[in-house]
Structure 1
Amino acid sequence: MKALNPLFLRLFDDAAIFPPGNVPMAEAVAAHRERQSSPLAPLLGPFVCSLARWDELVAAAAGGPPVPVSLVLPGPADLPEAAEVHLVAVEGPGLTPGGALPAYTEIPCAEITATRVAALRDAGSRLKIRTGGVRADAFPTEAQLARALWTAVRGGIAFKLTAGLHDPVRHRDPVTGFEHHGYLNVILATAQALQGYDIERALADQDGERVAAAVGGIDEVLAKAVRHHFVSFGTCSVSEPVDGLLHHGLLLPEDLS
């Protein structure tokens, strides 16, 4: 099997238990472990779980290898420990960076400024940006997300995104009418921000072939720089974004065999 494109390695954080997926904890943990031992493993980030469901997670993970987890906190909090769970990151609002774990501080997209990014960077924190949800107002506009990504990249900080990014390319959901950002658009916009280009057009582009071709043309050096900033995104479906890569030829069936 040839090496997978570094743009997609560990890109998909497994947020199956969150809306709109709402997969039962035991089922979600079992599915995550199954993916960890499958050809999907190189694409898979940690399992995402809230602190409020810690005990449920520990019970579901009993009897197997430790589950790598990014723990969502409501704010600064003491971290729990359990043999069944391997904490690899924390994320949430108002976090105080410290310790060995990467900490992703969530800031509303419209409130991300160069000053706040610099403060996070200097404190050793990373940035978490919400890109969707169960209401229309949870989805930032192209202009809002462009400003946030530009500020993060030019401010030299790593970030993760969460919600609304199941599909690779920007589109309007035919059921909800919500305008969803595409994770390939975000990759392309991050690359263009690193090169000093305006990025709003890249985020707004709904031509899947054009966006996929541009992402496929990112060379290894630029890909490494992109992923230094755009670390991952949380998705309640890992299969949907993987299917998107297959559809656009950025991942081949033999890569997963």
Structure 2
Amino acid sequence: MSALFAGLFDDAAIFPPGNLPMPEAVSAHRARQGSPLVGPFVCSLARFGELAGAAAGGPAVTVSLVLPGPVGELPAAEGLEVVAVEGPGLTAGGTLTTYTEIPCGEVTAARVAALREAGLRLKIRTGGVRADAFPSEAELAGAIWAAVRGGLAFKLTAGLHDPIRHRDPVTGFEHHGFLNVLLATARALQGYEIERALADQDGRRVAAAVAGIDEVLAKAVRHHFISFGTCSVSEPVDGLRRYGLISEATL
């Protein structure tokens, strides 16, 4: 399997629109914990106690904890290993990987430099329950370009369950594709214009371009684009299979 896809999908099953009940979400996550594709279980601070109850007595679960803002002491529970925190206004979290969420349109070279100097990473929201929660190709291109050229690692969240940019037939919302983002990150590393890579809705063309990324560039891409949260891990995995980028057996 290409390094491009290792640990790419953070398991946000309990968040909208998935809204999986906590016990089911924990059980499904544990079943996938050995997968090379799946990252940590994403949980809000408000539901950490519920997660601890659902996870009690079983194998340890790695967690990325979503905070509403800066907090004091982080919670802890047996069987849960918090490996990262993410949220708005966060400052360096000691030994924990810390993602500070910034609106896509506000990601500038100066802010990227400040985050990097502080030892932080960037979180960008790429969707939601309203059309205005989805940044345009130009907005996302600007944010990715600033992060990559500034040497800053980033993660994305929301709206990226499909590999390719598309219009949702039910909501009419324009969704970004995670293969488009991988390709755009590669192009940014090479110094090329990236908005067209984000806008491309030809799945075969985008998938072929991604398949052509060599392992050296793939590792550099993932050094910057760390992961994205998805409320359904199976959907992006099925998308990779559909385009022949992973084997049927991979999960």
**TM class, shorter-length:** over 0.9
1:45 to 23, 39, 42: 39
Structure 1 residue 219, shift from structure 2 partner: 0.4
Structure 2 match to 1:164: 159
Give, in whole Å, the separation in 2 of the partners of 1:59 and 1:82: 9
Amino acid at match of 2:184: A
Structure 1 match to 2:226: 231
Residue 55 (1) aligns with residue 49 (2):
yes
Identity %: 77
Residue 20 (1) aligns with residue 11 (2):
no
1:36 to 15, 30, 33: 33
Amino acid at match of 2:21: P
Structure 1 residue 253, shift from structure 2 partner: 1.2
Structure 1 match to 2:145: 150
1:68 to 62, 69, 79: 62
Residue 85 (1) aligns with residue 80 (2):
yes
Structure 1 residue 236, shift from structure 2 partner: 0.1
Structure 1 residue 255, shift from structure 2 partner: 3.7
Amino acid at match of 1:30: S
Give, in whole Å, the separation in 2 of the partners of 1:169 and 1:13: 18
Residue 121 (1) aligns with residue 116 (2):
yes
Give, in whole Å, the separation in 2 of the partners of 1:245 and 1:55: 34
Where 1:55 maps in the other structure, the secondary structure is helix
Give, in whole Å, the separation in 2 of the partners of 1:253 and 1:166: 18
Where 1:146 maps in the other structure, the secondary structure is helix
Amino acid at match of 2:33: Q
Structure 1 match to 2:206: 211
Amino acid at match of 1:104: Y
Give the TM-score normalised by structure 2.
0.98
Query: Following TM superposition, where does structure 1 have runs of at least 4 consecutive aligned residues deviating by more than 4 angstroms?
Result: none
Amino acid at match of 2:82: L
Structure 2 match to 1:130: 125
Give, in whole Å, the separation in 2 of the partners of 1:121 and 1:98: 13
RMSD over equivalenced CA pairs, Å: 0.8
Give, in whole Å, the separation in 1 of the partners of 2:213 and 2:222: 12
Give, in whole Å, the separation in 2 of the partners of 1:134 and 1:29: 24
Give, in whole Å, the separation in 1 of the partners of 2:248 and 2:55: 30
Amino acid at match of 2:231: C
Give, in whole Å, the separation in 2 of the partners of 1:8 and 1:150: 20
Amino acid at match of 1:216: A
Give the TM-score normalised by structure 1.
0.96
User: Per-residue displacement from partner, 1:22-46 (whole Å, max 9, x unpaired)?
Assistant: 0001110010001114xxx100000
Structure 2 match to 1:109: 104
Amino acid at match of 2:83: V
Structure 1 residue 222, shift from structure 2 partner: 0.4
Give, in whole Å, the separation in 2 of the partners of 1:196 and 1:232: 22
Where 2:246 maps in the other structure, the secondary structure is coil
Where 1:47 maps in the other structure, the secondary structure is strand
Amino acid at match of 1:115: A
Question: How many correspondences in the alignment?
Answer: 250
